[in-house]
């Protein structure tokens, strides 16, 4: 079993839709959670970073963490064609892990006009 | 503000040739540095990380090595490339463990 599971999609939605992206994890030591956006042939870009259960909002993006269920989500409101990319969840534990990130496989999202 | 650079952007090398990829970070000091490889299928695999000059930890046994000769410089090397070394190599930095990581633009390596 992978430590982090993420549905690879692909996910195709019309412009203006609300997008929900999800990851589940099995390692209870994970304390820090991130979402990255990666355009084709580019490096991942950090979208959201959180370390507590609950919701964190930044513009059209909301990150949700449920540590009791080991489940994280990213919601994109009013999706735009420019949101078309691969979205990667990532997480890390504390202690001596030195911030090593464990990534999901990524979800390919296409927002069509 | 902080900036991370990688070069070259693309590289095509024959099997058995050496490799040197460079990563530098500007605008911060004593960062944690990381090398990842992203193969087809999008998953990122951590190869090496470093918490200081000369301190390198390897995550997976492989044909590659890493060095950190200066605080903000991280180098990925190989003496003899294999076909399986092809992929997208990403360097990342973080201000400390337990914090977010920021990625560079990547180097696309093709070994023929």
Residues of A in Cβ contact (< 8 Å) with B31: none
First to last CA, chain A: 37
Element (H, E) at A77: none
Pairing of the two strands B87-94 and B73-78: unpaired
- Cis check for the bond before A10: say yes or no (omega within 30 of 0): yes
| CA distances for B9 relative to A20, B6, B23, angstroms | 33, 7, 11
Closest chain B residue to A93, measured at CA: B98
Residues of B in Cβ contact (< 8 Å) with A43: 6, 90, 103-106
pLDDT digits (tens, 9 = 90+) for A6-45: 988 899 999 999 999 999 999 988 888 999 999 999 999 9
pLDDT digits (tens, 9 = 90+) for B48-102: 999 999 999 988 767 899 999 999 999 999 999 999 999 999 999 998 765 789 9
Alpha-carbon distance of B84 to B110, in angstroms, equals 9
Residue A96 pLDDT grade (very low, low, confident, very high; cuts 50, 70, 90): low
């Amino acid at each position: 079993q992978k430590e982090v599971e993420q549905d690879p999609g692909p996910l195709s939605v019309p412009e203006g839709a609300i997008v929900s992206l999800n990851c589940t994890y099995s390692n209870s030591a994970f304390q820090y959670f991130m979402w990255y956006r990666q355009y084709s042939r580019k490096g991942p870009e950090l979208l959201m970073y959180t370390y507590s259960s609950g919701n964190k909002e930044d513009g059209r993006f909301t990150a949700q963490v449920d540590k009791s269920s080991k489940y994280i989500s990213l919601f994109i409101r009013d999706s735009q064609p420019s949101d078309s990319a691969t979205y990667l969840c990532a997480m890390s534990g504390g202690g001596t892990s030195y911030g090593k990130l464990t990534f999901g496989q990524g979800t390919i999202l296409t927002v069509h006009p | 503000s902080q900036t991370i650079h990688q070069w070259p952007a693309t590289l095509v090398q024959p099997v058995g040739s050496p490799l040197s990829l460079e990563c530098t970070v500007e605008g911060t000091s004593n960062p944690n540095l990381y090398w990842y490889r992203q193969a087809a299928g999008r998953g990122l695999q951590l190869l090496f990380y470093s918490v200081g000059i000369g301190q390198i930890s390897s995550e997976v046994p492989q044909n590659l090595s890493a060095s950190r000769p200066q605080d903000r410089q991280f180098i990925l090397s190989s003496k003899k490339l294999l076909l399986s070394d092809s992929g997208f190599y990403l360097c990342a930095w973080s201000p400390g463990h337990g914090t977010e990581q920021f990625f560079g633009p990547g180097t696309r390596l093709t070994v023929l």
